[in-house]
Amino acid sequence: MQEILDKLGIGSVVPGGFCGEWLGGGEKLDSVSPIDGKTIASVTQVTVDDYDRIAARAQEAFLKWRTMPAPARGETVRCLGNALRDVKSELGALVTWEMGKIRAEGEGEVQEMIDICDFAVGLSRQLYGLTMPSERPGHRMYEQWHPLGVVGVISAFNFPVAVWSWNVALAAVCGDASVWKPSSTTPLTAIACTKIAEKVCRETGADPAIFSLVVGRGSTVGERLINDRRLPLVSATGSCQMGYRVGAAVGERLGRTILELGGNNAIVITAEADLKMAVRATLFGAVGTAGQRCTSTRRIIIHKSVRDAFVDQLVSAYKQVRIGNPMESDTVMGPLIDTGAVDTMMKAIERIRAEGGEVLYGGEKLSGDRHTGGCYVTPCIAAAKNEYKIVQEETFAPILYIIPYATLDEAIALHNGVPQGLSSAIFTRNLLEAEQFLTCAGSDCGIANVNIGTSGAEIGGAFGGEKETGGGRESGSDAWKAYMRRQTNTINYTTELPLAQGIKFGD
């Protein structure tokens, strides 16, 4: 790991603030690996004064960056994508070491960053407005999109680098600067990404402050960020509780938010499903990233006629999951992010039993030579009812609830009967069932799939959900519009001055 840290520019103690220069006059923060409980490196956090300096520099950088032609902005993002290609293995390894996801997922997250940079480069030549007919003769009416300002990005530990790129790659080609506040449990990956972006900006002539960074306490720096009127947009990924706070603070100053919050994602498995496919999708959806994805599969809503056969196959698959050091190539599931997450999972299992549920497999703490650090568990499968309070909540851990149903209408009602609305799926070989699930009376989630699982969204489609998931959209499709301001323009190319709606005013 030392060679990797050296290549990424991470020393034993590194500053946690950046705005073209590195700052950090606050308390020291240790980044502890969930793999073995050891400190990787330490970060000097930013103070509120540091934050204000960084935000001011980001605003200054924005005022220059917005005037650069969008394709030229795209060139900087293109170079960022290429720089990420050069360190994909090293940055992916750091993601694994600091967050705990397996190597394949760590490198896959960096690949997402590369992909969104490629997407944004193309977008830099496609920031289209519309032309519409005017009701007034001799007038032309159209709309155009202008850069918005400095975008605040708050990311969570589970995707410590990809979420940043989803936002800043689009924001950058749209002409915006950004200030990134990463999770305090994964600061080193954020510093590594910022160092990569800094080098790219210096090589392309862009102001490095367009990719600014603040590692600091949520109670001080985080509060300053969400209440900062210099940031017209805050994109925040995290829990529903966090989203309520961010939404209220930003909304109070009439700012914009992109909120990517909790998921309580379900797969509906019908009597006509391919059970082998459904088991594979469930295994990845529920066990991948140790159940710490916002798109992780939390609930299986399954037809009574195939419930027992599916559970038997799923338990058999769970027993084959190799749990351990995620740096090892044959590991399928690594640790939870910290011992607090393990405690939360154990308390959730206690609540399952207290509410009348039954643990069918797993749900145990692991220890020993292969499970040092106290963050390893066996993934849990539990029989439950949708109305249990614990089922209605998102437990950020590998707990999967099995819920039977009799009719598809009942299954859809169960599926939609939770406060969250991020990702969903149905497994069926019946076209009528699949189409019903995708109608306006079907899944109420922002993502709805047929014969693939809830996890593993592609960057080409806008990502996000409804209800308590926050309603935000990031990444592909037309999500770029959130990072710009729309302006409607009317041009009169005559010597007359007619009014709209046929209004006559004076002679």
Is residue 251 a contact partner of residue 259, using CB atoms and an 8 Å limit? no
Whether 294 is catalytic: yes
Q: Radius of gyration (Cα) for the chain, nearest Å?
A: 24
- Residue range 226-233: average pLDDT? 98
DSSP SS3 for 391: helix
Tokens of 468: 């308590």
Q: What is the pTM of this model?
A: 0.97
Residues with Cβ within 8 Å of residue 241, at least 6 apart in sequence? none
Assign residue 110 a region: left if phi > 0, alpha if psi is -120 to 50, beta otherwise? Answer: alpha
For the cut 90, the answer to whether the pLDDT of residue 368 exceeds it is no
71 DSSP 8-state letter: H
281 touches 273 (CB < 8 A): no
Q: Where are the alpha helices (DSSP H) in 227-328?
A: 240-252, 275-287, 307-319
**Token pair of 98, please?**
């600091």
In terms of DSSP bridges, do strands 22-23 and 17-18 run parallel, antiparallel, or are they unpaired? antiparallel
**Residues linked to residue 154 through DSSP beta bridges, in sequence order:** 181, 236
Whether the pLDDT of residue 507 is over 80: the answer is no
Q: At what angle do helices 103-123 and 162-173 cross, to 10 degrees?
A: 10
pLDDT digits (tens, 9 = 90+) for 299-330: 999 999 999 999 999 999 999 999 999 999 99
Which residue do the tokens 């990031």 mark?
Answer: 474
Compute the distance between CA of residue 142 and CA of residue 449 in angstroms, rounded to an integer: 36
Section 4-30 average pLDDT: 97
Catalytic residue among 105, 112, 260, 468: 260
Tell me the CA end-to-end span of the chain in Å, nearest whole number: 80
pLDDT higher than 70, residue 288: yes
The secondary structure element, H or E, covering residue 344 is helix 339-354
What would the mean pLDDT of 122-141 be, rounded to a whole number?
A: 97
Closest by Cα among 419, 409, 462, 392 to 268: 409
Q: Does 79 participate in catalysis according to the annotation?
A: no
Find how far residue 273's CA is from the centre of its chain.
30
- The whole-angstrom separation of Cα 365 and Cα 380 is 11
Structure tokens at 385: 């009812």
d(CA 383, CA 404): 9
Query: Averaged over 215-237, what is the pLDDT?
Result: 98
- Of all residues in the chain, the percent with pLDDT exceeding 90 is 97
Q: Given 193, 201, 294, 380, which residue is catalytic?
A: 294
Model pLDDT for residues 433-456, shown as the tens digit of each residue: 999 999 999 999 999 999 999 998
